[in-house]
Amino acid sequence: MARPTRSSDWGFPRWREYGAEREAVKVRLCDRHGCDAPGDRPAPKSPNSPDRWYFCETHAGEYNRNWNYFEGLTAEEAAQREAEERRDAGGFAESKHNGWAGPGDGSRSRDEMRALEVLELDVDADFDAVRLAWRRLAKSNHPDVRPGDADAAKRFQAIQAAYDVLKAAEERRTWKPD
């Protein structure tokens, strides 16, 4: 009587290298009628469909040359679909690491530079200097100190907004996970 063996020999000790099984390796053939080459290059059956054809290299090239993604669409529909698929969120967020303005080392964004100008500080001011300048300017331009002065109220709001920008940037720089 034959001794029963496992189809996939994963026991110890291994007498063969990993990936060498006793069964024959399953090879998917090209989906082109009459082709016996391995079909290892997937190609879409239709737009917006998860189904795929699997062709050999020769027939995949032929299929790609004849493939028209916008087949059956008018020119306006094709342009609309292309615009929808090319759209991304790039216009909604400004990159934090590629600021065009800032000190030579690129550590400050354009918004931080504007905030430093509002607080009348140098480019290389640390956060302690920011806090001192904010307190000084906020006290001198506060609406309670200068009642009825609309320009002072606007300056106070700008000073407060500048401090909020710099405080958020400092928290981002010094944040550490717990």
Residue 120 to residue 151: CA distance in whole angstroms: 17
Residue 11 to residue 3: CA distance in whole angstroms: 16
Please state the pTM of the whole predicted model.
0.42
pLDDT of residue 105: 55
pLDDT of residue 37: 93
Between these two residues, 51 and 20, which has the higher pLDDT value? Answer: 51
